[in-house]
Structure 1
Amino acid sequence: MAKDASNGSLYHPFNHARLLCSAIAILLIFAGITALVLYLIYRPARHHLTVLGAAIYHLSPAVSAAPTTAIATSMQFTVAIHNPNSRAAVQLDRLCSYVSYRDQPITPPASLPSVYQEADGTVIVSPVLGADMVPVSAEVEAGLMKDEAYGVVQLRLVITGRVKYRPGPFKSGWVGLYAKCDALVGVKKGTSGQVPLLGQPECNVET
């Protein structure tokens, strides 16, 4: 009788529950490992931006009726936007670009067309920025005119928007994009057209 009771304990409901929990734990571990492997394979990387060239057509103080200072500029940057993901296509949308000097915008925001990039693809954009009067502080206006007279101006090209990754069979939601490129350009009084880039502009991308 004792032997039969011992064998019967193998089929106790507690043992079934324990086996079920073990099976679920093993499945979760395998699912976690699979998810980690897929993430490492398809994990999207941030874009790489490279400033290829710059042109300044107009750069001077603007006459304003208000008791404030303002800048009237017209410039163009040529930028290569590279998708470094070898397994993920990328869609860029609601792109907007402007130029700032000493952390103050000196051109109005300009919209850029949406961009779809295949894996490891590169798109070149050349937005023309400025033309309208932009209010700035007196320090920014004086500093910009001083740097222009010196012949070297530090400008920051900013591109904002949103990005969606399509890694393999998956698709991400929209993620905010913020890119900034600090470019040191050579400028002479009365310059109109291409200007030299003094060193390679440094670009940082945040998503």
Structure 2
Amino acid sequence: MGDGKTGRSSSPPNARRSALAAITVFLLLAGVTALIIFLIYRPERPRFAVVGAAVYDLNTSSPPVISTTMQFTLLVRNPNRRVSIYYDRLSAFVSYRNQVITPPASLPFLFQESRSTVEMSPVLGGAPVPVAADVGNGLAVDEAYGVVGLRVVVMGRLRYKAGAIRTGHYGFYVGCDVMVGLKKGFEGQVPLLASPPCKVDV
């Protein structure tokens, strides 16, 4: 009787251990398989470039507040041959001397096929933003000179898709430093005097 009771009481723990071991092996194999596939495809970061700019309003006459409406055309390139990219929680804003001068604007969800290029043209601004006095004064001086350095920022989350494999979400930050030709009182398309490739951090 004692031996029978002992055998019955030890069976469930053994079954649980076997089940846990099987689950652990399965998860390890699945993880290794996903990692191998991921390394084979080796997804690259997307590439951003500013190719156009327009300024419809820029009011620096009421410090410490700046009011502006700007539009930038960005090309987004997915350089991967076999990997698609999902973007979500996207937002964009413009900064000057590391000071935000437009409220962050939400951008729509984006899915990008491999080896494709899409265009984004967000309109940014439309509401006054408080800034430091030296920022407002510096922007007014640069505007009078006719050359203004700005940074267009896009941020959000992305994930990669390779076949049936999808990665988790990665936060990303894109900083595009541009020099635009802008004179006080001018509205519309402005020339890009310098627009190096944007820096993309994932």
The answer (yes or no) to whether the contact 1:42–1:168 under 8 Å persists in 2 is no
Say which is worse superposed, 154-163 or 37-46, in terms of deviation: 37-46
What's the counterpart of residue 135 of structure 1?
130
Q: Secondary structure at the match of 2:79?
A: coil
Q: Secondary structure at the match of 1:92?
A: strand
Displacement after TM superposition at 1:36 (Å):
7.1
Could you list the structure 1 runs, at least 4 aligned residues long, displaced by more than 6 angstroms after superposition: none
Displacement after TM superposition at 1:187 (Å):
0.3
Q: Secondary structure at the match of 1:122?
A: strand
Identity of aligned residues (%): 53
CA displacement, residues 107-157 of structure 1 (integer Å, 9 cap, x when unaligned): 000011000011111111100011100000001000000000000000000
Give the 5 Å matches for 1:140-179. Answer: 140-179=135-174
Q: Which residue among 95, 107, 113 is the counterpart of 1:112?
A: 107
Q: Secondary structure at the match of 2:144?
A: helix
Give the 5 Å matches for 1:36-115. Answer: 38-61=37-60, 63=62, 69-115=64-110
Flag the 1:110–1:40 CA change in 2: closer, same or farther, 3 A: same
Cα RMSD of the aligned pairs, angstroms, is 1.9
The answer (yes or no) to whether the contact 1:183–1:202 under 8 Å persists in 2 is no
The answer (yes or no) to whether the contact 2:52–2:74 under 8 Å persists in 1 is yes
Displacement after TM superposition at 1:52 (Å):
1.1
- Structure 1 unaligned runs (5+)? 1-27
Q: Which residue among 181, 185, 196 is the counterpart of 1:190?
A: 185
Quote the Cα distance in structure 2 between the aligned partners of 1:35 and 1:172. Answer: 9
The answer (yes or no) to whether the contact 2:34–2:165 under 8 Å persists in 1 is no
Quote the Cα distance in structure 2 between the aligned partners of 1:56 and 1:90. Answer: 31
Displacement after TM superposition at 1:38 (Å):
3.3
Displacement after TM superposition at 1:70 (Å):
0.8
Q: Secondary structure at the match of 1:132?
A: coil
Quote the Cα distance in structure 2 between the aligned partners of 1:171 and 1:35. Answer: 9
Displacement after TM superposition at 1:74 (Å):
0.7
State TM-score, norm by structure 1.
0.78
One-letter identity of the residue aligned with 2:113:
E
Quote the Cα distance in structure 2 between the aligned partners of 1:39 and 1:165. Answer: 9
One-letter identity of the residue aligned with 2:184:
K
What's the counterpart of residue 15 of structure 1?
none
Structure with max Cα Rg: 1
Quote the Cα distance in structure 1 between the aligned partners of 2:87 and 2:36. Answer: 26
The answer (yes or no) to whether the contact 2:50–2:72 under 8 Å persists in 1 is yes
State TM-score, norm by structure 2.
0.80
State the number of aligned residues. 173
Q: Secondary structure at the match of 1:144?
A: helix
The answer (yes or no) to whether the contact 1:96–1:112 under 8 Å persists in 2 is yes
Displacement after TM superposition at 1:202 (Å):
3.3
Displacement after TM superposition at 1:35 (Å):
7.2
One-letter identity of the residue aligned with 1:134:
V
